[in-house]
Chain A
Amino acid sequence: MLNLEIIIFGALALITVVAAVMMIIARNAVHSALFLVVVMSSLAVFFLGLWAPFIAMVQVALYAGAIMVLFLFVIMLLGAERAGARLLLAWQAPLAIGLTVLVVLLGALLLLNTAPFEVVDLPAAEITEGTAEAIGQALYSVWLFPFEAVSILLLVAMIGAVVMTRQETRQEARDERKKKSL
Chain B
Amino acid sequence: MSNTSFVALFPLFIGLSVVLFSLGVIGVLVRRNAIIIFMSVELMLNAANLAFIAFARSFNQIDGQVFVFFVMVVAAAEVAVGLALIVAIFRSKQSINVDDINQLKG
Contacts and interface: CB of A to CB of B under 8 A. Distances in A.
Given A46-B13, A71-B83, A74-B86, A124 B30 contact: no
A96 B29 contact: yes
A134 B62 contact: yes
Contacts of A9: 6, 9, 12
A154 B76 contact: yes
Contact of B39 (A17, A71, A88, A142): A71
A113 interface: no
B99 A138 contact: no
A109 interface: no
B22 A101 contact: yes
Contacts of B25: 96, 100
B60 A153 contact: no
Contacts of B10: 117, 119
A108 B18 CA distance: 10
Contact of B84 (A107, A134, A164): A164
Contacts, number: 240
A38 to B, nearest CB: 11
Contacts of B4: 121-124, 127
Given A24-B26, A161-B80, A128 B69 contact: no
Interface residues of B, number: 76
B57 to A, nearest CB: 4
Given A46-B13, A161-B80, A36 B39 contact: yes
Contacts of A130: 56, 62, 65
Contact of B9 (A6, A52, A67, A87): A6
B104 interface: no
B33 A67 contact: no
Contacts of A11: none
Interface in B80-106: 80-81, 83-88, 90-91, 95-99
23 contacts: A1-B5, A16-B20, A20-B43, A23-B27, A23-B39, A24-B26, A49-B6, A52-B56, A59-B49, A71-B83, A74-B35, A87-B30, A96-B30, A121-B4, A121-B8, A126-B60, A130-B65, A143-B70, A150-B73, A157-B78, A161-B83, A165-B88, A168-B88
